[in-house]
């Protein structure tokens, strides 16, 4: 077996790093899970052994987020993009519009897909405060009265932009929490539905979690594919067809790990420390900058630019050589981006700050 | 690490056993893939490293099946069930019907889903020959003239029933090869589209492969979710959204393994030997029986019943204790079923036959 380089910290925006302890357990039991002599990915999803995995994962997620009993938890195929289509097809009912809050790339992508099924009422909320990118307060969002629901994305991974408040409305609020789920405490009861692709804070790519209030079920359009029909999935405990079992199992290991870390409250505190360490360093420097107003800065994705963009390539090359991986910004915006999800330890952020300080000293 | 029980043979119908050499490689490099210090599941799907994995997997599959250049190969989310919805939404065009050949549970499930999008013309092809279950020859299938395509499932895993011929028709033939792909040589050019959920002969659950003739693209219904739109997926090299990267990587390892075994021609010969060994033993015994006519017996799934069904539980218990796992028949039909996909070695089938002979001796 090749040696593990202990000093590698992976800042990938997604698919992202998973907790090392989880990966070690997965490796240890990959060929012989629960002494069955096979891998967990080689057994029937309807076996009692796998059903125990599935049920435990759901229970642990319910515990972690204090999900009320009147919400279903679904483990689905297709990634969050599939939900962009599933949401209008499941939740519009007779309505012909829904309000889509547009704070960036992902929110806008959800709008594009929704146009296949309705005429979304789109509310642009990106603004500027003191020359920095910011988001309009939720109290100022215009919500179309005939909306079936209000959709938003609380964290835009590309811009590193976060929405921290919720509108007062009687419409169900639907949140794409792909990049923030389990990173902080939330009050699930304020949402009609929460969904999250796994590959940032939950597990490997290829599974998406849907938490949906039961009274919203039963209104699916006739043409929604069954694998995206929440009512079908809820009735069949997310096993209408063969689910992505290995991804489900790994997600369950991450939930267990998170509980062992002290749960969401404890990880939130650590996430705030990590983000503060990095943002404070950037703000104290003239060599690095972040363009987002402090009130809307993401806890999970920290984009930053060099004062001398001509040094970008050198920065990335030297960072990589120092074991600080995947720091390149999204191709749409360029620059750098450090994604610091739950699995990133404080030492990883500290190592990044140390490297940035050194790089500044050598290149300022 | 727990010891690996060498004597375990896993006859699961799916998710099914993967080649041991593949699982060992996956385990070895799980924490440190290509010396990156991270797992392959922790890197961006758009990184040059993962794109190399994706492209190599496609090339190896093209080599293995001799896929002509005018076919696209897609790696998709959702399992074969998602394709039950995707196929009519992508391929009906202006047509309002398609012919669905119904040979069993899976073919009929495809019909149920197709009814959301058209009025399928359903052709029952299950019949009886000499008191055994069989399938009507393809030359006798009625194909509705206004059909956009003809859909069938060449292997019904539950009944262990195989269709071995193709109709003469100018309609595109669509085949659900989830349980037979790569198990034998096929002439791809005879099909409009072939698709297969991975979890039997390809890799872990959660990825499905679509091989579709290019001239069939471009006719998707407006309401098809983008993640199921073949034209969108083809344009974006199956990376419209984050694909199930680990499943894709593992599928690629299986393709490499299959090439090392001598390719599809060699594995077909071995599959025929395995199936003959088991069927011949069953036919020579009065204690076991298989209800399928020899002309339609599945190479992949061998259901069998005991002459004394009251011994079923004892058979399964003792087989399990002997390391012969997951032999219970599907809940719909009961009895026993041995799934002997590519990854099952001849020794596994031999061990099963030895056990069956011993069990018969002790219980006849």
Instruction: Give the nearest partner residue to A27 out of B10, B30, B45, using CB atoms.
Output: B30
Reported ipTM: the value is 0.96
Task: Verify that A250 and A299 share a domain, yes or no.
Answer: no
Contact A42 B8 (CB under 8 A): no
Residue by residue, pLDDT tens for chain B (364 residues) are 333 346 799 999 999 999 999 999 999 999 999 999 999 999 999 999 999 999 999 999 999 999 999 999 999 999 999 999 999 999 999 999 999 999 999 999 999 999 999 999 999 999 999 999 999 999 999 999 999 999 999 999 999 999 999 999 999 999 999 999 999 999 999 999 999 999 999 999 999 999 999 999 999 999 999 999 999 999 999 999 999 999 999 999 999 999 999 999 999 999 999 999 999 999 999 999 999 999 999 999 999 999 999 999 999 999 999 999 999 999 888 899 999 999 999 999 999 999 999 999 999 8
User: Cα(first)–Cα(last) distance of chain A, in Å?
Assistant: 41
Contact A242 B199 (CB under 8 A): yes
Task: Verify that B251 and B289 share a domain, yes or no.
Answer: no
Residues of chain B found within 8 Å of residue A241, distances taken between Cβ atoms: 78-82
Domain with residue B251: its CATH number is: 3.40.640.10
Task: Verify that A179 and A294 share a domain, yes or no.
Answer: no
Task: Verify that A67 and A209 share a domain, yes or no.
Answer: yes
Residue % of chain A over a pLDDT of 70: 98
> Does the annotation place B361 within a ligand binding site?
no
| Model pLDDT, residue A1 | 35
Residue B178: which domain range?
26-260
Where is the domain boundary, A242, A260, A278?
A260
B200 catalytic residue (yes or no): yes
B18 within domain boundaries? no
CA nearest B83 in A: which residue? Answer: A225
Do A254 and B109 contact (CB within 8 A), yes or no?
no
Q: Give how many domains chain A has, as a whole number.
A: 2
Select the residue from A221, A242, A322 to test the B interface by mutation, using most B Cβ atoms within 10 A. Answer: A242
The Cα of A116 is separated from the nearest Cα of chain B by a number of Å equal to: 6
Q: For residue A166, what are the CA distances in angstroms to A91, A97, A140, A170, B335?
A: 19, 20, 11, 12, 56
B246 within domain boundaries? yes
Which positions of chain A have pLDDT values less than 70?
1-6
DSSP A266: H
- Cα B160 from Cα B302, distance rounded (Å): 6
C-alpha torsion B97→B119→B219→A99, nearest 10: 170
Task: Verify that A313 and A210 share a domain, yes or no.
Answer: no
Strand stretches in chain B, DSSP E: 9-10, 71-76, 99-102, 121-124, 126-129, 132-135, 150-152, 155-156, 161-162, 173-176, 193-197, 208-213, 288-289, 301-306, 324-325, 336-339
Task: Verify that B303 and B229 share a domain, yes or no.
Answer: no
Task: Verify that A58 and A151 share a domain, yes or no.
Answer: yes
The Cα of B247 is separated from the nearest Cα of chain A by a number of Å equal to: 8
A99 within domain boundaries? yes
Domain with residue B344: its CATH number is: 3.90.1150.10
Do B175 and B29 contact (CB within 8 A), yes or no?
no
Where is the domain boundary, A230, A260, A290?
A260
B310 within domain boundaries? yes
Where is the domain boundary, B260, B277, B298?
B260
Q: Which residues of A are catalytic?
A: 106, 176, 200
A4 within domain boundaries? no
A19 within domain boundaries? no
Task: Verify that B48 and B191 share a domain, yes or no.
Answer: yes
pLDDT tens-digit series, residues B251-261? 999 999 999 99
Tell me which residue of A85, A155, A80 sits closest to A339, measured CA to CA. A155
pLDDT tens-digit series, residues B71-92? 999 999 999 999 999 999 999 9
A165 within domain boundaries? yes
Task: Verify that A103 and A249 share a domain, yes or no.
Answer: yes
The neighbour count for residue A137, using CB atoms within 10 Å, is 14
Contact B86 A225 (CB under 8 A): yes
Task: Verify that B239 and B94 share a domain, yes or no.
Answer: yes
- Cα B165 from Cα A295, distance rounded (Å): 66
Task: Verify that A165 and A275 share a domain, yes or no.
Answer: no
Which helix (DSSP H) or strand (DSSP E) does residue A233 occupy? helix A230-235
Residues of chain A found within 8 Å of residue B30, distances taken between Cβ atoms: 23, 26-27, 30
* CA B30 remoteness from chain centre: 26
pLDDT tens-digit series, residues B135-178? 999 999 999 999 999 999 999 999 999 999 999 999 999 999 99
Q: Which of B72, B171, B200, B274 is catalytic?
A: B200
Do B113 and B85 contact (CB within 8 A), yes or no?
yes
**What phi-psi label fits residue A263: left (phi over 0), alpha (psi between -120 and 50 degrees) or beta?**
left
Task: Verify that B314 and B334 share a domain, yes or no.
Answer: yes
Residues of chain B found within 8 Å of residue A229, distances taken between Cβ atoms: none
B3 within domain boundaries? no
């Amino acid at each position: 077996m090749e040696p593990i380089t202990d000093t590698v910290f992976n800042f990938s925006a997604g698919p992202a790093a998973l907790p090392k302890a989880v990966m070690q357990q997965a490796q240890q039991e990959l060929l012989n899970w629960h002494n069955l002599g096979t891998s967990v990915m080689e057994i029937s999803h309807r076996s009692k052994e796998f059903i125990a995995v599935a049920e435990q994962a759901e229970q642990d997620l319910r515990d972690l987020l204090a999900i009320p009993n009147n919400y279903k938890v679904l483990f689905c195929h297709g990634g969050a993009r599939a939900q962009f289509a599933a949401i209008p097809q499941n939740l519009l009912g007779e309505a012909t519009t829904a309000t889509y809050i547009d704070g960036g790339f992902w929110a806008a992508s959800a709008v594009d897909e929704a146009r296949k099924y309705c005429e979304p009422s789109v509310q642009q909320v990106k603004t500027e405060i003191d020359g920095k990118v910011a988001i309009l307060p939720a109290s100022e969002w215009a919500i179309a009265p005939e909306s079936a629901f209000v959709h938003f994305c609380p964290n835009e991974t590309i811009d590193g932009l976060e929405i921290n408040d919720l509108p007062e409305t009687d419409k169900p609020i639907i949140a794409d929490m792909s990049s923030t789920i389990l990173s902080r405490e939330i009050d699930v009861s304020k949402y009609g539905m929460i969904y999250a692709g796994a590959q940032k804070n939950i597990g490997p790519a290829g599974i998406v979690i849907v938490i949906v209030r039961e009274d919203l079920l039963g209104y699916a359009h006739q043409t929604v594919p069954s694998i995206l029909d929440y009512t079908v999935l809820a009735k069949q405990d997310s096993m209408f067809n063969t689910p992505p079992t290995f991804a489900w199992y790994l997600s369950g290991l991450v939930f267990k790990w998170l509980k062992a870390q002290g749960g969401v409250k404890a990880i939130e505190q650590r996430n705030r420390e990590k983000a503060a360490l990095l943002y404070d360093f950037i703000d104290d420097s003239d060599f690095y900058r972040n363009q987002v107003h402090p009130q809307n800065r993401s806890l999970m994705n920290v984009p930053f630019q060099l004062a001398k963009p001509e040094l970008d390539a050198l920065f990335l090359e030297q960072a990589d050589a120092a074991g600080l991986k995947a720091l390149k910004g999204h191709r749409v915006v360029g620059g750098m981006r450090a994604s610091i999800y739950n699995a990133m330890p404080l030492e990883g952020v500290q190592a990044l700050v140390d490297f940035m300080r050194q790089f500044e000293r050598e290149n300022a």
